[in-house]
Structure 1
Amino acid sequence: MKIAITGATGQLGQLVIHALLKNTAASNIVALVRNKSKAADLKAKGIELRFFDYDTPATLASALSGIDKLLLISANEVGRRTPQHKAVIDTAQQAGVPYIAYTSLLNADHSPLGLAQEHRETESLIKASGLQYTFLRNNWYSENYLAGVNHTVGIGTLYGAAGEGKISSAARADYAEAAAKVLTTSGHENKTYELAGSTSFTLANLAGDIANVSGKEITYQNLSAEDYTQALTQAGLPAGLVDVIVDADIQTEKGAMFSNSKDLEQLIGHPTTPIKAQVATILTAS
């Protein structure tokens, strides 16, 4: 059984491989990478490396030769994902790959998030391909809210534009564990899993968690979309990323990040990692 992972040196890809190694031999795993020099640690573990670049379709066929299961981790270039994914799906068909798992977006078929369209298009392409599939519809990563925790402690304020919207995020490692489970067990063919955290929080709750862990007073300040856009832009974030972050918060207030689905918890066999625990890990390490 050969299992191939796209984006194997990325944050999610590395965690998927780590989870896979708990359930299958390294010789069964193929890491599909654009830069083999960045994957020396994977090679050292006995994992086969194959060059794989979405934008050079001629390289894809040989990389997918003999693959039994393919995990397509969604590409990170928003606006270019659909053609990149199509190249992979088409090649998987031609190479005789029988099964593909795809990391999609929570409620992709009706999510109001701007990011959802490319996921909808990719899901449609996979269904049309005739390949057996599993859609892993991941909600937001908790890590998306934690990059600035130390800064938040320093200034005493958590900024956002999500109002009192509830967020059912999970740790990146939880989603990785679910992907590994689907790739190493049976019964997941042609299924869609809505993957979200076991518990939910608002940004005000998160501010409370940061305060509780740090021992500092932290308040949540809700901004208008315009003010939040301006603040993130002034902080030096690229325009495309600012648009994604602000859109996510706007839609959070309307319920887009909330889910009571227990698919993730059931797949991995335990509750997802509480965001407060992740806050504690970050602040302890700093």
Structure 2
Amino acid sequence: MTILVSGASGRLGRLILERLIARGVAASDLIAGARSLGKLEDLRARGIRTVAFDYDDPATLSKGLKGVDRLVLVSVSQPDTPVTQHDAVIRAAAAAEVSALAYTSVYRASESTLPLAPIHAAAERAITATGLPAVILRNNSYTELYLGPVIRAQETGVITSAAGGGRIAAATRPDFAEAAAVAITDDAYLGRTLELSGDTAFTHADLAAAAAEIWEREVTYRALSEEQLIAEFSTMGLDEKTAKLLAAIDASIAAGYLNSSDRTLSEMIGRPTTSLIDALRSGL
């Protein structure tokens, strides 16, 4: 069984490859695909075959998928990602007649107000249209994304957001990577759309409490409006487009789109998901 993991130069793609090896898949049965082969030299040294796999270059996709049994399509998650990028990979996978496809989507993609949701929902529809045996991995937020506010809080003693009291059922990249490794190697998951979340959802007030524990100083949470948050981001040097994107994500959190008490992720990986405080400590 040959498994290609796309986006292998990124953090999630690399972790998926590591978890596949940990689960007993031979390095010689794995293929790492990325836009730039120069970023995969360390994987090649470990016995993993590497291929150019550029979502904007269909020729690399068809060539890279030759002889591939299964594909983990690590999605691009930028608000300006052209839908054609994912579509090109999906079409190439259908043409190659892969026996299984796993796609890393976003939590509640078909209904969420998160700015990235429409891109992923479109990719999910394209996968369904091919008729390929597939599993959709709707990942909640990555806990690592909250390291920045915690690091700044060491100096400022404040964490701000426009998320109000909204809860985030985040999990770490290693948690999600483990689930992807499980899903692509177990046919029982094919045909399913899996909403994957951390075991314990947290608020930004909880994040401030965790920061206070880590830094051993008082850290408070200050709730802002979207407009106030955008203004704060501008003082930090962020461009208006990025500031509005981050504020919109907070608005979706406030509306409950990242809240969950589901245990599908921990059940898949056979252990509790990484706690907030442990994830933050390991990332610092």
TM-score (norm 2): 0.96
* Paired AA for residue 230 in structure 2: T
Cα distance, 1:205 vs structure 2: 0.9
* Paired AA for residue 182 in structure 2: K
Tell me, in whole angstroms, the C-alpha distance in 1 between the residues paired with 2:75 and 2:245: 15
Over 3 Å counting, the alpha-carbon distance change for 1:113 and 1:268 in structure 2 is: same
* Paired AA for residue 229 in structure 1: I
What are the Cα deviations for residues 218-242 of structure 1, in whole angstroms up to 9, with x where unaligned?
0011111011112123322344433
Partner of 2:169: 168
The alignment status of 1:45 with 2:46, answered yes or no, reads yes
What are the Cα deviations for residues 143-182 of structure 1, in whole angstroms up to 9, with x where unaligned?
1111242221111111111111111110111000100111
Contact 1:166 1:202 in 2 (8 A): yes
Contact 1:229 1:246 in 2 (8 A): yes
Tell me, in whole angstroms, the C-alpha distance in 2 between the residues paired with 1:138 and 1:227: 29
Tell me, in whole angstroms, the C-alpha distance in 2 between the residues paired with 1:52 and 1:122: 18
Contact 1:74 1:81 in 2 (8 A): no
Superposition RMSD on alpha carbons, in Å? 1.3
Partner of 2:254: 253
Partner of 1:209: 210
Tell me, in whole angstroms, the C-alpha distance in 2 between the residues paired with 1:241 and 1:62: 35
- 1:264-279 counterparts in 2 under 5 A? 264-279=265-280
Tell me, in whole angstroms, the C-alpha distance in 2 between the residues paired with 1:206 and 1:242: 20
The alignment status of 1:156 with 2:142, answered yes or no, reads no
Unmatched runs of 5 consecutive residues or more in structure 1: none
What are the Cα deviations for residues 202-226 of structure 1, in whole angstroms up to 9, with x where unaligned?
1001101110121111001111101
Cα distance, 1:16 vs structure 2: 0.7
Query: In structure 2, the residue corresponding to 1:187 is in which secondary structure?
Result: helix
Contact 1:197 1:272 in 2 (8 A): yes
Over 3 Å counting, the alpha-carbon distance change for 1:139 and 1:81 in structure 2 is: farther
Partner of 2:15: 15
Contact 2:7 2:33 in 1 (8 A): yes
Over 3 Å counting, the alpha-carbon distance change for 1:253 and 1:264 in structure 2 is: same
* Paired AA for residue 231 in structure 2: Q
Over 3 Å counting, the alpha-carbon distance change for 1:86 and 1:282 in structure 2 is: closer
Cα distance, 1:135 vs structure 2: 0.3
Question: How many residue pairs end up in the alignment?
Answer: 283
What are the Cα deviations for residues 50-74 of structure 1, in whole angstroms up to 9, with x where unaligned?
0011111122111001111101111
TM-score (norm 1): 0.95
Contact 1:36 1:51 in 2 (8 A): yes
Q: Following superposition, which runs of at least 4 residues in structure 1 exceed 4 angstroms of deviation?
A: none
- 1:226-241 counterparts in 2 under 5 A? 226-241=227-242
Partner of 1:36: 37
Contact 1:115 1:244 in 2 (8 A): no
Tell me, in whole angstroms, the C-alpha distance in 2 between the residues paired with 1:75 and 1:255: 24
What are the Cα deviations for residues 93-124 of structure 1, in whole angstroms up to 9, with x where unaligned?
11222221100111112112121111111100
Contact 1:75 1:81 in 2 (8 A): no
Tell me, in whole angstroms, the C-alpha distance in 1 between the residues paired with 2:55 and 2:36: 12
Tell me, in whole angstroms, the C-alpha distance in 2 between the residues paired with 1:74 and 1:107: 15
* Paired AA for residue 8 in structure 1: A
Tell me, in whole angstroms, the C-alpha distance in 1 between the residues paired with 2:225 and 2:84: 34
* Paired AA for residue 34 in structure 2: V
What are the Cα deviations for residues 28-61 of structure 1, in whole angstroms up to 9, with x where unaligned?
1100111111111111110000001111112211
